[in-house]
Structure 1
């Protein structure tokens, strides 16, 4: 049933109903609340709003079954109610019918001898309470639905945040692996480059030594052999020799003012472990130890103690151990 018709059935004047609809959001509970907060005395309720109020009064004229106009708020003595011939709805008075005509556009009304019984004050109060209860129930259901929707949205948000955090962490791990692999590749390339330099230096030294021996032999009138020269040429022109894989490293560790320590270690031994193994001879704590090589000159200090002998390219070499 239309909200206005429900309020008309409860006995509220049409003008007050329209005022309630204008001053609220148009819902039944808001309209009932406004009417309850703005009561009128019985005289005003019967006669309608005074002429100097701002209530809107419709000027539409309703036509009865006898063809005569029906004044708003009046029904002929013989008629008990008005019936809309377009939709068959029944109205207690012309004001209610006028409201229906304004909202629906229906204009065909007829009088009926059947009267719509007036609601007693108790029935009106009960009807009003029923409407309030139904409005409160709808409001509670709406609040419950809103709370459930909010909870579901929060669950979805947390799930999305968790998935996003997991994805970010996975990307960090992938990037960390890439960075570690790049560092290892750079270390391998550095080791190979150093080895190539060593090979070239050794080949050059050997070539100069062979040249000196040949010149010495020539001065002494001894026969010379071209094999060393061929070997030198081969060493200088050929590519880098294949590096031998070692599993152990024989280190000669020289300590300032103390005898050198010669000891073999697995190539996976860290510099920290090497320093700790000679602590009794060196008297230098591993955290304060510094390893140095002469050629190529290299210094390994506290931040390098986690490197292995293989990573530091300390395979079968002599190193100096000092206090940092």
Structure 2
């Protein structure tokens, strides 16, 4: 009758019929505590409320008796032909009193409370562990993001340093080119461009020839120097005296070294008659370009 008492006790505790029958069958009818443990462990199973279906063959918790042996649960049965009856011990089944049933229910409730407490503590520990893992993962992710930001900042700083270095080297190359051009000009043309001698006095006109039937053409005068005025983009001007045989490139170099209005590339031209000097003209002497003895050049953006 132990199985029947366990079934009744679990039903009185509030468990459903399907759950109790399944718990007792699965645990092999080994007592209320084993059934309680199974119910607590499998409470969240999706099929916990489905009716129990015993497996094919031997039923859990039962065992076939050996041949020729009568199961003890059947008790002693006398031969009906001899007028025997069922053993009295099988009829004298012990029935729990009301007080014993209450005591058993109380113990079961305490067991349920203990199991519930253990489960809650286990779930709490699991939640704490999950929270630790979540925080650890969050810290690792934060460190990864911080390292990526630091790497990006380092890359930007390195790019800026490289750009500044390239810009510095480019300026250095420009200054070196200007110095080379200046040295070549000084070597090629000497210091004549820096000296501004006064223009030679014009010779007195030749005396008028006595009356003659014809007039001789005037003699064309040769000039060794020419005075060049250069008008810059900001309205200011530069004035310098050059040798008549110097190339126009000497004037351009002089403007590059002394202008203060801008550093942009430029071209030289005359206003009237308008003429824009090309790179080919830079190799020609001032005398050949018609800029002797004086001329006004204009700087324009290239």
Report which of the two structures shows the higher radius of gyration computed on alpha carbons: 2
Considering the TM-score relative to the shorter chain, is it more than 0.5? no
Identify the structure with bigger relative contact order (alpha carbons < 8 Å, sequence gap 6+): 2
Q: Greater strand share, 1 or 2?
A: 1
